[in-house]
Copies of this chain bind each other. A is one copy, B any other.
Amino acid sequence: MSEFTGNLLVAQSGGPTAVINASVAGVIEEAGKHPDAITEIYGGLNGILGILNEDLIDIQDELSVSIEGLKHTPAAALGTCRYKIDFKKNTDQAAKDINRLFEVFEAHNIRYFFYAGGNDSQDTAHKLHEQALARGYALRVIGVPKTIDNDLPHTDHCPGYGSVIKYNATTVMEIAADVRSMATDGGSCCIIEVMGRSAGWIAAGTVLAKRNPEDAPHIILLPEIPFDEKAFISKVEATVSEIRYCIVVVGEGLKDSAGNEIGADNTRLDAFGHPVLSGAAERIGEIISSKSKTKTRTVKLGYAQRAAAHCASETDVEEAVACGQAAVRAAIEGKSGYMVKIVRLEHEPYKWTTGLQDLKDIANVEHLIPRDWISADGFLPNERFIEYARPLISGQLQLPMEGGLPKFVTLKKSPVEKKLPPRVL
């Protein structure tokens, strides 16, 4: 027997991706190799929220084929949440939540906790690590990076990012072929809205569709660069006058020079009180229509982009699995309070490995595109960005199919018997 023995809990948090389940599969596969140290493997349903409700499932009751299938199943198979333990604003509730989490951990002898998520989730993981130390509760906490937004610091990139840009760049190529073949008259402009509130990594990634200078996308509007309407209209008109069409990609969080989001609908707020962004492409379309004769059409990929397993990057899937495995290995080695990161060794041929970063360096730090990775006029990422992003989309995931459609996995979710009274709010 290992000196440090107990049960493992893995959970997912925040917006899903095409490969967040692959990280969970990595955790589970690696955990199975350490039966001396890890007794039971549990999944927490709907992230922290489900753990607070003691909603745990027994992963060992799942078929092994289901675990393998997680590697090509998009979204969060364990369920996810946007619930945030608010250590800053709501200290009473945060203290209650933390106490409850440790009650659940203790009741189920959880000694290994792996949380796959973005900024907020790494923050939660960090707090749990600190609290475990403060309480003298033996717990090893490792964060697994996940976000299509690619805005976590210290990791070269985040699992989920390669797949979203592969799908979006493919879509840009296809839409461009369509619009180009229709461009017989006064010209037309198609505006494609992609995700990305603060960081423009997702929008920038579509530049990979551009193999030749005249290829789409012709303009990429990044949230990092304040929107310059006049320069934008000039560039649209110059492009349409030269090649009769123009493909614009806009990150949903594009801001004007005053910092206001171009596409914000202030009448609707999300769980964090941010305005729901629904209209950057529509708004840009209106601006073009009001200033030029170019016809406009819009595409809003929305959730389609982050769930597009059918167009996922094989490299991304491999890295996501490896991050899950590395998290378990680190914990087995006695580490806690770290996030797994991806370390790039070489651009071409692309070589990478995993590493660990102290969670205190991660939480709530947002990683934006460096200004010198973007062209002087701000309308396209440059060669430095392309060199960075290119390897991340390589390889195609081969999805098992059934009747012409993907065959995704649904977990059985056998509940672990509850041992505590219900959570009191």
Contacts and interface: CB of A to CB of B under 8 A. Distances in A.
Interface of A: 12, 15-16, 46, 49-50, 73-83, 166, 169-171, 173-175, 177-185, 190, 192, 208-209, 211, 268, 271, 276, 278, 282, 285, 289, 297-304, 306-311, 313, 315, 390, 393-396, 401-406, 408
Contacts of A285: 278
Contacts of A315: 404
A297 B80 CA distance: 17
A254 B46 CA distance: 36
A209 B407 CA distance: 10
13 contacts: A16-B177, A49-B184, A80-B181, A80-B182, A81-B182, A173-B405, A173-B408, A174-B308, A174-B309, A175-B302, A282-B282, A301-B304, A313-B404
A311 B396 CA distance: 12
Contact of A390 (B73, B181, B403): B403
Given A182-B15, A278-B282, A406-B170, A302 B297 contact: yes
Counting chain B CB atoms within 10 Å of each CB, which of A192, A298, A404, A408 scores highest?
A: A404
Nearest 7 Cβ contacts at the A-B interface: A393-B404, A75-B177, A174-B307, A299-B302, A76-B181, A178-B307, A75-B181
B408 A393 contact: no
Contacts of A298: 278, 300, 302
A268 B289 contact: yes
A396 B401 CA distance: 9
B190 A303 contact: yes
Contacts of A49: 184
A394 B315 CA distance: 27
A190 to B, nearest CB: 6
> How many identical chains are in the complex?
2
Contact of A178 (B75, B78, B179): B75
Contacts of A404: 166, 208, 313, 315, 390, 393-396
A12 B404 CA distance: 28
Contact of A405 (B82, B208, B401): B208
Contacts of A74: 174, 177-178
Contact of A182 (B82, B177, B182, B211): B82
A229 to B, nearest CB: 20
Counting chain B CB atoms within 10 Å of each CB, which of A185, A208, A402 scores highest?
A: A185
B299 A303 contact: yes
A174 B74 CA distance: 7
Counting chain B CB atoms within 10 Å of each CB, which of A50, A396, A405 scores highest?
A: A405
Contacts of A82: 182, 184
Given A80-B184, A297-B303, A394-B404, 4 more contacts: A12-B181, A75-B174, A173-B405, A310-B311
A285 B178 CA distance: 28
B394 A403 contact: yes
A177 B308 CA distance: 10
A310 B173 CA distance: 10
Counting chain B CB atoms within 10 Å of each CB, which of A49, A304, A408 scores highest?
A: A304
Contacts of A181: 12, 16, 75-80
Counting chain B CB atoms within 10 Å of each CB, which of A79, A170, A297, A308 scores highest?
A: A170
A247 to B, nearest CB: 10
A306 B178 contact: yes
A395 B401 CA distance: 9
Nearest to A53: B184
A282 to B, nearest CB: 7
